[in-house]
A and B are shown apart, each in its own frame.
Chain A
Amino acid sequence: MSAFALGERYHHGDGLLYRADSRIKLLIAILFVFAVTAIPEGHWFAFGAFGMFVTVGVALSRLPVWLVGCRSLLALPFIAAAIPLIFTRPGDTVFTVPLLGWTASDIGLVAVGSILLKSWLAVLVAVVLTSCTQPVDLIRGLERLRVPRVLASTIFFMYRYLFVIGAEGQRLMRARESRSAVSPLGYRAGGTIGWRARVLGNMVGSLFIRSYERSERIYAAMLARGYDGTVRFGDERALARADWLLLTSTLAVLGGLVIYARL
């Protein structure tokens, strides 16, 4: 049941980063991700420096550390994707897996460690960004950074209706749960795994069809109110001096780190 209980990513707070312009925060987050990926494998000092950068971000946002930590676990699946590299990269043998006979190379271990750190750092910065920026501000930020309108509108509608569809899914699960009973006549309850999978598949399918139908109704309602392909937000706020300062200083730090690590 709780599988569909979607929560907002925004965490209410009043740290310094909350007040920064969403465009600047977006730019910094994107630049950070590019900068991290530009660091050569095994450059642990540079990774440490990027870690410091994130730590400063968390401190400036005054987000609870546990919150950032928990949400960054999103990076975990990357481990599964990266692990084969330990055994496939040629290099000096570090250890051998008993029974299977796979040999782990030193170069492979460094590569996997670097990939893990890079993805974790990138997720961390995204977590900080989404936790201290209102979703609507993020989408406005995208628009003002000249992200194509279609893309920005799509993200906006996804955010608007994600919770509606989530609630619909939750009601479906409730209805199913209400009829998942044990007979007083003593039959073995639960059905086969295949049947249960089919029921779930049907539920997902009907949710999809309903979302599709809903989108058509929404579109009709928008046309009825004069929609012409653009979602208009309020007037544009000029960047404050503090925002420019934040951007330029971050650029200097990130750029400096990349140049240092690649020299």
Chain B
Amino acid sequence: MLDFKPRTKPIGSNDHTITIGHESPVVIAIRDLHYAYPNGHPALVDTNLTIRQGERVAVMGPNGAGKSTLLMHLNGILRPRPGQTGCGGAIEVAGLSLTDENLRRIRALVGVVFQNPDDQLFSPTVYDDVAYGPLYMGMPRAEIEQRVREALAAVDTSGFEERMPHHLSIGQRKRISLATVLVMDPQVLILDEPSAGLDPRARRGLIALLRGLPQTLLASTHDMRLVRDLFDRAIIMQDGRIVVDAPAIDVLSDEALLEEYGLEAP
């Protein structure tokens, strides 16, 4: 385990969230992460972040601030490789350091839901898509069937197995996308813009659904009301750096701070 300084600010607790103590185990530890794209443009600079089990962390900031780049590092889709200029640092997930050997084990622990459900869902039927992860893992058929059923039930889409993704509404597709990672029983959920493109009803449904999940949650978002309703910790990124890391309630009530980083109060 990497040696991390304890967080300086206590994590606030909104009425609906679980209070996380300092004794909760660290699930994500990022130290001195740097990343530059092949064209040399730095996307992440000096990034340090510790996330404890059960925390719900919102990552905010303008487009191009490095939010997605940060999230893509957490399951090794993007990785600093030795020799790449402007890249470096260390990432640990549940005590496993992110290396070639651990990569596929970490992908079982970290479920990533991409912003566009059409990218997430690449199979002809909902069943094929939700079953992809367990099938790849080599689970026995009976267990796969049961997991798929449970995952679909968890996102309120029971009985959708034989439906075709392109015939579903965007809200349903977002839910199925979530099911495709819940089925793998991950410890951490990474969501890229979970509420983007949803109508108010679908959005409220998604928030209620996410609230009921026990997983550690890390999500990039521009949706301040989502942050208010779901997250207990908020990070603001700008130009590849984490510039604010504080209880969500404090960040959302600090209008001067929001103004400074181009955000709006909910």
B181-204, CB under 8 A of A: which get 1 and which 0?
100100000000000000000000
Does A209 belong to the interface (CB within 8 Å)?
Answer: yes
| A179 and B77 within 8 A (CB) | no
| B139 and A187 within 8 A (CB) | yes
| A182 and B137 within 8 A (CB) | yes
| A191 and B138 within 8 A (CB) | yes
| B122 and A202 within 8 A (CB) | yes
Chain B residues contacting A237 (CB-CB under 8 Å) are none
| A181 and B116 within 8 A (CB) | no
| A202 and B114 within 8 A (CB) | no
| B108 and A181 within 8 A (CB) | yes
Tally of chain A residues near chain B (CB < 8 A): 29
How far in angstroms is the closest Cβ of chain B from A201?
Answer: 10
Chain B residues contacting A174 (CB-CB under 8 Å) are 72, 77, 114, 119
| B137 and A210 within 8 A (CB) | no
How far in angstroms is the closest Cβ of chain A from B75?
Answer: 6
Q: How far is the CA of A189 from the CA of B107 in the complex (A)?
A: 12
| B107 and A179 within 8 A (CB) | yes
| B107 and A171 within 8 A (CB) | no
| B104 and A180 within 8 A (CB) | yes
Interface SS of A by simple majority:
helix
**Given known A171-B114, A174-B114, A206-B124, contact A180–B136 (CB-CB < 8 A):** yes
Does B220 belong to the interface (CB within 8 Å)?
Answer: no
A-contacting 9-mer, from B127-135, B206-214, B257-265: B127-135
Does B7 belong to the interface (CB within 8 Å)?
Answer: no
How far in angstroms is the closest Cβ of chain A from B226?
Answer: 22
Chain A residues contacting B124 (CB-CB under 8 Å) are 202, 205-206
Chain B residues contacting A177 (CB-CB under 8 Å) are 77, 107
Chain B residues contacting A41 (CB-CB under 8 Å) are none
Q: How far is the CA of A172 from the CA of B132 in the complex (A)?
A: 13
| B108 and A182 within 8 A (CB) | yes
Does A184 belong to the interface (CB within 8 Å)?
Answer: yes
17 examples of A-B residue contacts, CB within 8 angstroms:
A168-B119, A175-B120, A178-B111, A178-B114, A179-B111, A179-B184, A180-B107, A180-B136, A181-B106, A181-B108, A181-B184, A182-B137, A183-B139, A184-B105, A191-B136, A199-B132, A205-B124
User: 6 other contacts beyond A181-B108, A206-B122, A210-B118, with CB at 8 A cut-off?
Assistant: A176-B122, A179-B111, A181-B105, A181-B106, A189-B137, A191-B138
